[in-house]
Structure 1
């Protein structure tokens, strides 16, 4: 499978399989976007302090040498306390199962139990069960993440006795300061 350039952009053919009747075929919202939308195919409640697996109803056949990165939507990250657990998540070219999004509700429990929680816009919504008020509801049809197709070169490892010197050297976490 080879890539081609269209209007100076690299295009790689990606086959998708719809696994759910409500699955949404991914699309780019704007011409120069790097990511395409991944959409929830069912309602999912995420209690405070918990992680949920949100199904997209999609399986992908990625070209060899590529990965699908699952990344947060900036609007959700900016407006809510929802975070993608393993961002960016990697879907390998050999995987053919359903792509799901692991999402954390980083809020602490409020202790207020009732029939309302929050949606991805931070609006209060009514639900059909008792939940902590800091629970989030992901609704079927919500755009929950974005997918980015990325080239992945294979590493060819070589064991050596010494590594070349650099200005940074072995300086790790915080070695360059914070200001």
Structure 2
């Protein structure tokens, strides 16, 4: 199975030419993730920025999302949760197909505009370990922010 990115159905079928996230240099850890639509983020507010992406990975991996440093410094933007966590079972969930949305907060004094196709975040695939007495819980039932929802 490995890992990678693909488009959710809405974006895969809209006929627009888009590029899947890529690492920009040989030693880059992160895959640059772009906004799927132009999004306005008022000063002091948080907005969900759609990426149009979903990601698949092995069951013992996670995709970590961080804001690109240039967006933090130049546009005063940050991810609301500091680091986004995309679990392996988020892919193709029944609520939103696994659509990766970025909760972006504008901590600056003026509205910021993220243009469609503008790279705003980085995704880093990471292997993680489980505790010896791990309890895995139930099957995921929801989409964005749904880990506490049970079957």
Q: Which structure's relative contact order is higher, taking Cα pairs within 8 Å and 6+ residues apart? A: 2
What's the counterpart of residue 83 of structure 2?
88
* In 1, Cα distance between equivalents of 2:115 and 2:25: 23
| Alpha-carbon contact 2:46-2:106 (below 8 Å) kept | yes
Partner Cα separation in structure 1 for residue 6 and residue 22 of structure 2: 14
Q: 1:83 to 1:15 in 2, by over 3 A?
A: closer
Q: Secondary structure at the match of 2:23?
A: coil
Q: How many residues align?
A: 122
Match of 1:106 in 2: 107
Structure with more of its chain in helix, by fraction:
2
Partner of 1:155: 131
CA-to-aligned-CA distance 1:105-160 (integer Å, 9 cap, x gap)? 1124xxxxxxxxxxxxxxxxxxxxxxxxx1111110100100000011112249xx
Q: What does residue 143 of structure 2 align with?
A: none
Corresponding residue for 2:47? 52
Q: What TM-score does the superposition give when structure 2 sets the normalisation length? A: 0.75
Helix, strand or coil at the partner of 1:107: coil
User: CA RMSD of the aligned region, Å?
Assistant: 1.6
Q: What is residue 3 of structure 2 aligned with on the other side?
A: 14
State the partner residue of 1:36: 31
| Distance in 2, Cα, partners of 1:33 & 1:94 | 25
In our comparison, the structure showing a higher alpha carbon Rg is 1
Structure-2 separation of matches of 1:143 and 1:60:
17
Query: Which 4+ stretches in 1 moved above 3 angstroms?
Result: none
1:143 to 90, 102, 119: 119
Greater shift in the superposed pair: 138-147 or 149-158:
149-158
Distance 2:119 2:84 in 1: 16
**TM-score using structure 1 length:** 0.64
Aligned-pair CA distance for 1:15: 4.1
Q: Deviations over 1:26-53 (max 9, x none)?
A: 1100000000101101011111111011
Tell me which residue corresponds to 1:4. none
